[in-house]
Amino acid sequence: MLGILAGLKQEARLIRRFLPDAPLALSHATPEGARQGVERLLRAGVTELLSFGCAGSLSPEAPPGTVIVADHVHHENRNIPCDPALSQMFGSAFARRGGILHSDALVEFASEKARYFTETHCLAVDMESGVVAQSGLPFAVLRVVCDDATQDLPPAVKTSVKEGAVYIPGLIGSLVRHPLQIGGLIRLGKEAALAQRAMASFLQANPPQT
């Protein structure tokens, strides 16, 4: 039985359209949430796992909208291979292949992204895949790039998500403190919308063969 770990409610709604019966847990984009989510899935009796959702680009050659079916997850200085058969079920033949870096902290700055790319050669970074990879179960990673590797994230990204959804008070507070980020937020919103459309199109063209 497949279990799914995603970061945000919007991501969960998308994958639910294609895997309505699979147990699903949210990390709420926190390390502890990811660990608790995997624990809940294991207690539910899942035998394989999917890490699903958005990822931050590390490579200039992985622009927003790039769909990645990872071949490994880089976590705690080692590469943990994804399950080839499970990856194939999620369209690995039709997606970008490469590594996903796990990070317990948000990677905010273009300089950080460039450094991590140089160090690990991973295409993108997320906050769930390392926990999935350490579960001991066969796993796959299906992610879509939601930002540009050459751009810093706006400060509001750190405060505008709560319990897996947009947190308006946090967003407004950040805008008051950093009004010049409005352009960056508009750009990021467009990139996130592009990513959502790209993943939906990918899943429609390559429905999960579970």
Rounded CA-CA distance 85/105 in Å is: 30
What is the count of structural domains for the chain? 1
Rounded CA-CA distance 105/29 in Å is: 9
Domain that holds residue 159: 2-205
End-to-end CA distance of the chain: 9
Domain-located, residue 11 = yes
Answer yes or no: are the C-beta atoms of 72 and 99 closer than 8 Å. yes
Domain-located, residue 154 = yes
Residue 166: Cβ within 10 Å count: 12
Q: Is 42 helix (H, G, I), strand (E, B) or coil?
A: helix
Rounded CA-CA distance 5/206 in Å is: 20
CATH number for position 186: 3.40.50.1580
> What pairing do the DSSP bridges indicate for beta strands 72-75 and 24-26?
unpaired
- Compute mean pLDDT per 10 residues along the chain, 210 residues long, and list them: 93 94 92 94 97 96 97 96 97 97 91 97 96 97 95 66 51 56 71 91 90
Rounded CA-CA distance 111/134 in Å is: 28
Domain-located, residue 75 = yes
Q: Give the single-character DSSP code of 167.
A: -
Answer yes or no: are the C-beta atoms of 48 and 61 closer than 8 Å. no
Selection from 48, 47, 68 nearest residue 58 by Cα: 68
Domain-located, residue 70 = yes
What would the two tokens of residue 49 be?
């796992």
Rounded CA-CA distance 209/26 in Å is: 22
- Note the pLDDT of residue 44: 96
pTM here is 0.87
Domain-located, residue 210 = no
Answer yes or no: are the C-beta atoms of 50 and 2 closer than 8 Å. yes
Domain-located, residue 159 = yes
Q: Give the single-character DSSP code of 65.
A: T
What would the two tokens of residue 19 be?
């895997």
- Note the pLDDT of residue 86: 97
- Note the pLDDT of residue 161: 55
Domain-located, residue 80 = yes
Domain-located, residue 33 = yes
- Note the pLDDT of residue 151: 87
Rounded CA-CA distance 54/175 in Å is: 23
- Note the pLDDT of residue 29: 82
